[in-house]
Amino acid sequence: MTGTSVSNTSHALNHVAIIMDGNGRWADSHGLIRSEGHRQGTKNLREVVKAFADEGVSFVTLYAFSKENWQRPRNEVQNLFDLLVESVAQNLEGLHQDGVCIQHLGDKNNLPYEVREAIGHSEKITQGNYHVTLSVAFNYGGRAEIIEAVKKIVKDSIAFSDITERVIEDRLYTSAIPDPDLIIRTAGEKRLSNFLIWQSAYSEYYFTDVLWPDFGKADVQKAIREYKNRKRKFGALES
């Protein structure tokens, strides 16, 4: 949904994507082990999604596990998988009540059975909800996503002269959702870390030093206020 379809309503905030960073540092600063930081980082999910929905945001995307996160120690990777399963068990009912439709972005292939089951279950239970779409990027990599799209294009025998932005977008994990208007990254780092690299072409960025487990409703409102002060031009002149 990019390219020529870009809207010129510069303050519309339809889709917010979040790089949830700083769980490890949060644990460190509380004298806890990293897994406690990751656990704490699942407790604010419903509040944050609800806070965005209350502000009229229809799409929220969370970066929960990157393809590159496999490089972490085995026990941390396993802990993140366990937490995804636990978090679905704990949050699914509340999110469902809030009218949230959950969808997964990423590669399901090499994830353990329990993780695939938890994702599939949450997608199935919430598929009829339309208040807000919550996309969970888990085992997600932006470059891998583009490679997958290119492979599909070849498989679909699309002619060279028919390749357009739309042809690529239709084959990304995000084909059903608009590009993010705002990308938030917590914990002070200022990089994308392979997140939505195609879709972020014209996104606004908001960086905060707040560590993800401490991020709550007030931070949501602060980010939105800042976004509303930005001028988006999409390459055109200001009107």
The residues that touch Mg ion, with contacts defined as CB under 5 A, are 21
**Per the structure block, which two tokens stand in for 90?**
């704990």
Contacts for 40-47: CB closer than 8 Å, 24+ residues apart: 40/213, 41/212, 41/213, 42/83, 42/86, 42/87, 42/90, 42/91, 43/213, 44/212, 44/213, 44/215, 44/216, 45/87, 45/91, 45/95, 46/91, 46/94, 46/95, 46/98, 47/216, 47/217
Residue 24 touching ligand IPE (CB under 6 A): yes
What x/- string results for residues 54 through 83 when contact with ligand IPE is judged by CB under 6 A?
---------xxxx--x----------x---
What x/- string results for residues 196 through 215 when contact with ligand IPE is judged by CB under 6 A?
--------------------
Nearer Cβ to ligand IPE (52/212): 212
Q: Which among Mg ion, ligand IPE, none contacts residue 227 (Cβ within 5 to 8 A by kind)? A: none
* Residues of span 159-188 touching ligand IPE by CB under 6 A: 187
Nearest-10 crossing angle of helices 45-54, 217-228: 40
Residue 20 touching ligand IPE (CB under 6 A): yes
Nearer Cβ to ligand IPE (63/227): 63
Residue 149 touching ligand IPE (CB under 6 A): no
Residue 91 touching ligand IPE (CB under 6 A): no
Q: Figure out which of the listed residues 13, 19, 49, 53 binds ligand IPE, where binding follows CB under 6 A.
A: 19
The label of the residue with tokens 């229809």 reads 58
Which residues, at least 6 apart from 214, have a Cβ–Cβ distance to it below 8 Å? 26
From the list 154, 185, 211, 158, the residue with the least C-alpha distance to 26 is 211
* Nearest residue relative to ligand IPE (C-beta): 24
Contacts for 159-163: CB closer than 8 Å, 24+ residues apart: none
Spell 162-172 as b/e; 16+ CB within 10 A means b.
eeeeeebbebb
Residues that are catalytic: 21, 69
Nearer Cβ to Mg ion (21/181): 21
Nearer Cβ to Mg ion (25/166): 25
Q: Figure out which of the listed residues 108, 191, 228, 233 binds ligand IPE, where binding follows CB under 6 A.
A: 191
Q: Figure out which of the listed residues 58, 90, 129, 193 binds ligand IPE, where binding follows CB under 6 A.
A: 193
Interface with ligand IPE: number of residues (CB under 6 A)? 17
Binding site for ligand IPE (CB under 6 A): 19-25, 63-66, 69, 80, 187, 189, 191, 193
